[in-house]
Amino acid sequence: MRKFEDSLPLQLLKAREATMAYFRPLLQENNITEQQWRVLRALKAYEELESKQLADHCCILSPSLTGIIKRLEQQGYIKRKKSEEDQRRTLLSLTDKALNLFQRLSPDVDSRYRAFTEQYGEEKLEQLTRLLRELTELDGMSD
């Protein structure tokens, strides 16, 4: 068995924490959790999603996402509507308030990405991104 500190899942968690240190203060200043920001980012990228699609894109379990969606609705950041093709489907999208939040935060987010890239290195970041994409495409071992 690998030494505890060499555990790949642990190293990935530590890398996530190191990365989020660049962005977490900005989110906290705007009363947005990391998970809420992930949901807002996904809806910004895809415009409209069902909650199952949103859960998949954001890597958030559906029960947890239910609470996140509820809080974002209460904050006025997301809205629901019935699908025109199938009234049983509910689509989630951003409100104007959320779009304004993106417009306001985008320069700061971009600045923090630049700071991270400058410290870590653009070539290393591109390599890391490529390797992580490859890793997420691996099939897990089944018992």
Evaluate whether residue 140 is within a structural domain. Answer: no
Q: What is the pLDDT at residue 5?
A: 82
39 touches 60 (CB < 8 A) = yes
Evaluate whether residue 71 is within a structural domain. Answer: yes
How many distinct structural domains can be found in the chain?
A: 1
Evaluate whether residue 117 is within a structural domain. Answer: yes
Domain that holds residue 12: 4-135
Evaluate whether residue 29 is within a structural domain. Answer: yes
Evaluate whether residue 142 is within a structural domain. Answer: no
What is the rounded average pLDDT of the residues 88-102? 95
- Interval 5-64: pLDDT, tens: 889 999 999 999 999 999 999 999 999 999 999 999 999 999 999 999 999 999 999 999
Evaluate whether residue 74 is within a structural domain. Answer: yes
> Domain with 38 in it: what CATH number?
1.10.10.10
Sequence-separated (6 or more) residues with CB below 8 Å from residue 125: 116, 117
Evaluate whether residue 129 is within a structural domain. Answer: yes
Instruction: Tell whether the model's pLDDT for residue 65 goes beyond 90.
Output: yes
129 touches 137 (CB < 8 A) = no
- What are the tokens at 90? 């509910």
Evaluate whether residue 54 is within a structural domain. Answer: yes
Distance CA(89)–CA(122), nearest Å, equals 42
- What are the tokens at 129? 């991104």
